[in-house]
Structure 1
Amino acid sequence: MAATVALVINCRGDVIVGLHHVYSQERTMRLSSFKPTKTPLQLAILGLLCLTGCAVGPNYQQPDLHGSVPTQFNQIEGSNLATAPAINDRWWQTWNDAAITQLVELALARNLDLASADASIKQARAQLTMIDSSYQPQINADGRIGRDQFSKNSENFANIPFPNPKIGFTDYRVGLDASWELDLFGATARSVEAGKARVASIELQRQDLSLRIAAEVVRNVIDYRTYQARVKNAEAMLADSKQLLEIATIQQKAGLLSNSDLMDAQVAVHNTEAMISPLKSAATSTLLSLSVLVNQQQEQVSSILSSAKSDSIDATTINSIGVPSDLLLRRPDLRSAERQLAAATADIGVAVAAQYPQINLVGNLGLDTITPGKLTDLASRYWSLGPQLSIPLLNGGRLSAQVSSKEAARDAAIANYRQAVLAAFADTESALIRYQREQQRLGQIRAAYSAQQQQFGYAEKRYQLGDTNYANVLQARLQLAQLHDTELTSQQALGENLTALYKALGGGVVGAPESASIRLK
């Protein structure tokens, strides 16, 4: 009695093994432990379905974020920004600053980090092509010319049935080897699924990098303009402080001013001088940062800033911020994290498929002879064709552990995605509150500046009428310049906060592939 193993595979990924006992005296096969109940037609259809490939492992389900996404952003009292998603695709152009527009476009075209990201995308796409090629038969050609000699002491020589056999000869061989793995359980399908998700994730990471680089360019231009304006204002303050010191020196010598008042005037001059150097250093540092971002020499960046100099560094305004759920479609970092989760889910299917049998169709065809002139003879042909089955039996739990590892990686990806969503909401609300608070502060500073302008005008009129001395005029103008410096720093903070808000909202990255949509039940 002999025994063979029969396999029945269904599209749920189940493998049913039946033991057939072969009785030589009956010359028939009888199935003892497996009795199929399917009709031949049903079994044929089932076989065809299997050949199309059934993917084992969990199918990806988009995360349900019900309860995690607020319906609207918190705003400070008195603010009511619209919830329509109306962010300009090129949001940096809302500053109406030619230098900002030109430098952002330069950065998006020349930044080296983006160049590296482009290379990563190409690499990921190439890897996906490699995985996808597993669907196709693999055919290789080979050829050989080699001198062979049998060992007289080997079993090959001992089994030759005639005397004085030829034990040395030259072999000439050409042929083709072919193999095709049948993706019955979807190992390749899941690998392709994971590869596509990772390519999408890397592409979205590139979008996120573009958004961050654009925001950095805008912030640095705002800072550079602010430092320049503050240097100019500080130099005017220094001139007035020096005039006040000259007047105080004359008055002190005439006995009209105490030594303490004279020292106060000297301190004011030194304090103003001390402001200028750090501001100039900050401007230079900002210029260097811009040159790195746009991959240009410092002189070229300086030329762009000078030729397209804006008369105002006021921050533009934003009229619409959308609703929190918009972030899931707009922010590329969140969409990238969602695609990473999809890839991690598909990886589980790859690991599960490794526990199932693998079937390969293998074959070869060629010509083999020891006589060169007979290589093309019909008798020199050889070929083989047939299925090759591999069933994992004992592996010490390695395959099961691999599935557990991929499931843990999927769970980590879920946690990372949910954490990224929560952080995005917090980041956006924080940027929104800072922007709105700074708007209020700037309004208050400008009200104080307007009042100080009136005070300065009043001091000038009194001086022209002879009711006061010029020192009072200088003092009023100095106070006005000090308030202007405060106004400039508030304008800078407002511009930086607005830039951060645009970045937190996803900037101009609008729309999303269908695969990145999120269920909000």
Structure 2
Amino acid sequence: MRYKSALLFAPLLTAACTAGPDYHGPVAATPATPPSFVRGDASTGLLEAAQPWWTALHDPILDQLMNQALSANPRLDAAAARIRQARSSLRQRKAGGLPTINGSALYAKARLPGQSEDGDATTLDLYNLGFDASWELDLFGGHHRAVEAARADVEGSEASLDVARVSLSAEVAQSYVDLRDRQQRLALGTQALALQDEEVALTRQRFERGTIAHGDLLQQEFDRDGARARLSPIRAEVDALKDKLAILTGAAPGTLDALLDPPALPPLPPAQVAVGDPAALLQRRPDIRAAERKLAAQTARIGVADAARFPHISFLGLIGLGGSSPEDLVDLDKFTVAAVPRISWSFLDFGKARARINAAEAQRDEAAANYRAAVLTALQDAEGALSRFQRQRESLADLVRAEQQAKAAAELARQRSEAGTISIINYRITQRQALGATQAKVEAMAALTGSFISLQKALGLGWQGVGSAAPAVR
């Protein structure tokens, strides 16, 4: 009974001897979190968005591109493969704490000199068939800590996949907005170029009538040719952005041309944007979760290094049948059982174990510092993105008013031109100025949506509800 009681309490004793510090979360490593964002204003709300953030732009083509990218982008496939690698390592760690059983079959022939009575050599045959098993007790919790670290590595890999999703969704959206911006620049630039061609033709007529100097005509042609030259790089950018979007969605360049060729205005963000609060941000951003899991893993590895200072106890067991002839393999009287306990202890290692512990503690401290840096960077990203988003709203409002004024001036110039009080050339100039104001407004629209995308990336959105976050490994 006393022996059975000892066996009953052995697991409790083992658990009580787990080496290294227990991980209770990054409380000491977390900077003070403000209750709300400093740069928030009336356009930012505290409610979390229920749908993926890009659906708030109400652009079906963008939604289609995003779905394709999140399901077919090679970078996500690589991140998912790293998760499988980490899970395999975890299974190996778990299996390392279980007994190892091997089947074996042996035949040996030996010639031993001088073993017979007449001094001649003796030949021996040995046959054996059986099993051997080995098991190392996790007496001081080194294996338990190794499994704990491997589990944290798996969860960190899952967070890294979410990081990749956040970056990919932001990159797809920004590339799409840039494409729509360049298409509008190209369309407006082409309209302005047609007006300049007309201005050059009218100026040439005036030059031929001798009412203006040749230099005036040359200046008009110089301005027109410069405007035409500026359109070529924009065309190249349009092609490059279409190819980039194709690659991001896992397709070959040119595959999406038919979908993306019809130009459209850049989509605009909603009037009210949900941003939450800093505390929710720190829980949501996957890069912070990855840094926290790294800290957990490094804390557990201190226990792995600490457990190496203590004795290691292992058992080797042998079970088999055998003898000097093949018939012995089926003779139960030849049954052999052996149990071999073994203890090893590097009690004199001249400081190697302590050095390993110090190194593990330094790695834990590095992970804690990296976690603090990730938290501060996240707060900085969010505040900066909020500030840019607000300023872009103000800029767009100013440029919308400027466009309205430019269009009103163009309409007034049209009326004066029809009345004969100004020349057609002057009217065309005011039309080009109105087109320029429209282009400035479109660029501001793209910049506003770009700041909205940066804000969503800074908030750590872009992965919830799109098949992310595989179940945590237990």
Where does structure 1 lack aligned partners over 5 or more consecutive residues?
Answer: 1-38, 517-521
Matched, 1:204 2:159: yes
Displacement of 1:509: 4.2
Counterpart position of 2:249: 294
Counterpart position of 1:35: none
SS at match of 2:422: coil
SS at match of 2:170: helix
Instruction: Pick one of 54, 57, 65 that aligns with 1:92.
Output: 54
Displacement of 1:392: 1.9
Q: Deviations over 1:1-36 (max 9, x none)?
A: xxxxxxxxxxxxxxxxxxxxxxxxxxxxxxxxxxxx
Q: Deviations over 1:35-63 (max 9, x none)?
A: xxxx9999777545225563110001212
Instruction: Pick one of 232, 235, 239 that aligns with 1:284.
Output: 239
What is the alpha-carbon distance in structure 1 between the residues aligned to residue 253 and residue 444 of structure 2? 27
Counterpart position of 1:117: 79
Point out the structure with max Rg over C-alpha: 1
8 Å CA contact 1:177–1:365 kept in 2: the answer is yes
What is the alpha-carbon distance in structure 1 between the residues aligned to residue 98 and residue 310 of structure 2? 20
Matched, 1:72 2:36: yes
**Letter of the structure 1 residue corresponding to residue 426 of structure 2:** N
Instruction: Pick one of 191, 203, 214 that aligns with 2:169.
Output: 214
Displacement of 1:164: 4.8
What is the alpha-carbon distance in structure 1 between the residues aligned to residue 314 and residue 366 of structure 2? 35
**Kindly tell me: are residues 320 and 477 of structure 1, through their superposed partners in 2, closer, same or farther at Cα, counting changes over 3 Å?**
same
Displacement of 1:271: 2.2
SS at match of 2:205: helix
What is the alpha-carbon distance in structure 1 between the residues aligned to residue 51 and residue 109 of structure 2? 71
Displacement of 1:118: 1.1
Displacement of 1:85: 3.9
Counterpart position of 1:452: 406
**Kindly tell me: are residues 210 and 172 of structure 1, through their superposed partners in 2, closer, same or farther at Cα, counting changes over 3 Å?**
same
Counterpart position of 1:431: 385
**Kindly tell me: are residues 177 and 45 of structure 1, through their superposed partners in 2, closer, same or farther at Cα, counting changes over 3 Å?**
closer
8 Å CA contact 2:206–2:212 kept in 1: the answer is yes
8 Å CA contact 1:200–1:336 kept in 2: the answer is yes
**Kindly tell me: are residues 44 and 238 of structure 1, through their superposed partners in 2, closer, same or farther at Cα, counting changes over 3 Å?**
closer
Displacement of 1:163: 4.8
Counterpart position of 2:135: 180
Matched, 1:465 2:419: yes
1:253-272 alignment, distance < 5 Å: 253-272=208-227
What is the alpha-carbon distance in structure 1 between the residues aligned to residue 238 and residue 111 of structure 2? 81
- TM-score in terms of structure 2 length: 0.92
Displacement of 1:203: 0.6
Matched, 1:399 2:333: no
8 Å CA contact 1:88–1:508 kept in 2: the answer is no
8 Å CA contact 1:53–1:184 kept in 2: the answer is no
8 Å CA contact 2:159–2:290 kept in 1: the answer is yes
What is the alpha-carbon distance in structure 1 between the residues aligned to residue 56 and residue 263 of structure 2? 13
Displacement of 1:364: 0.6
What is the alpha-carbon distance in structure 2 between the residues aligned to residue 265 and residue 151 of structure 1? 113
**Letter of the structure 1 residue corresponding to residue 310 of structure 2:** Y
What is the alpha-carbon distance in structure 1 between the residues aligned to residue 31 and residue 365 of structure 2? 19
Displacement of 1:357: 1.1
Instruction: Pick one of 66, 70, 82 that aligns with 1:108.
Output: 70
Matched, 1:493 2:457: no
Displacement of 1:254: 2.2
Q: Deviations over 1:146-174 (max 9, x none)?
A: 3222244xxxx5xx8x5557621222111
Of residues 338-347 and 58-67 in structure 1, the stretch that sits farther from structure 2 once superposed is: 58-67
Percent of pairs identical after alignment?
Answer: 30
Instruction: Pick one of 177, 192, 195 that aligns with 1:240.
Output: 195
1:304-315 alignment, distance < 5 Å: 304-306=259-261, 311-315=264-268
Counterpart position of 1:145: 107
Q: Deviations over 1:354-386 (max 9, x none)?
A: 111111122110112111122211332211114
Counterpart position of 1:191: 146
SS at match of 1:299: coil
SS at match of 2:255: helix
Counterpart position of 1:24: none
What is the alpha-carbon distance in structure 2 between the residues aligned to residue 170 and residue 50 of structure 1? 47
Matched, 1:374 2:374: no
**Letter of the structure 2 residue corresponding to residue 145 of structure 1:** Y
What is the alpha-carbon distance in structure 1 between the residues aligned to residue 131 and residue 36 of structure 2? 65
Instruction: Pick one of 66, 88, 91 that aligns with 1:126.
Output: 88
What is the alpha-carbon distance in structure 2 between the residues aligned to residue 381 and residue 205 of structure 1? 55
Displacement of 1:190: 0.5
Counterpart position of 1:13: none
8 Å CA contact 2:282–2:378 kept in 1: the answer is no
What is the alpha-carbon distance in structure 1 between the residues aligned to residue 8 and residue 65 of structure 2? 63
Instruction: Pick one of 186, 198, 205 that aligns with 1:250.
Output: 205
8 Å CA contact 1:321–1:505 kept in 2: the answer is yes
**Kindly tell me: are residues 53 and 127 of structure 1, through their superposed partners in 2, closer, same or farther at Cα, counting changes over 3 Å?**
farther
Report the RMSD for the aligned CA atoms in angstroms.
2.5
8 Å CA contact 1:222–1:495 kept in 2: the answer is yes
**Letter of the structure 2 residue corresponding to residue 71 of structure 1:** P
**Letter of the structure 1 residue corresponding to residue 83 of structure 2:** I
What is the alpha-carbon distance in structure 1 between the residues aligned to residue 180 and residue 36 of structure 2? 34
Where does structure 2 lack aligned partners over 5 or more consecutive residues?
Answer: none
8 Å CA contact 2:170–2:462 kept in 1: the answer is no
Count residues with an aligned counterpart: 466
SS at match of 2:278: coil
8 Å CA contact 2:127–2:328 kept in 1: the answer is no
Counterpart position of 1:21: none
Q: Deviations over 1:443-463 (max 9, x none)?
A: 111110000111111111222
Displacement of 1:310: 6.9
Counterpart position of 1:59: 22
What is the alpha-carbon distance in structure 2 between the residues aligned to residue 198 and residue 361 of structure 1? 30
What is the alpha-carbon distance in structure 2 between the residues aligned to residue 370 and residue 279 of structure 1? 88
What is the alpha-carbon distance in structure 2 between the residues aligned to residue 48 and residue 132 of structure 1? 17
SS at match of 1:375: helix
Displacement of 1:391: 1.8
Instruction: Pick one of 362, 368, 373 that aligns with 1:408.
Output: 362
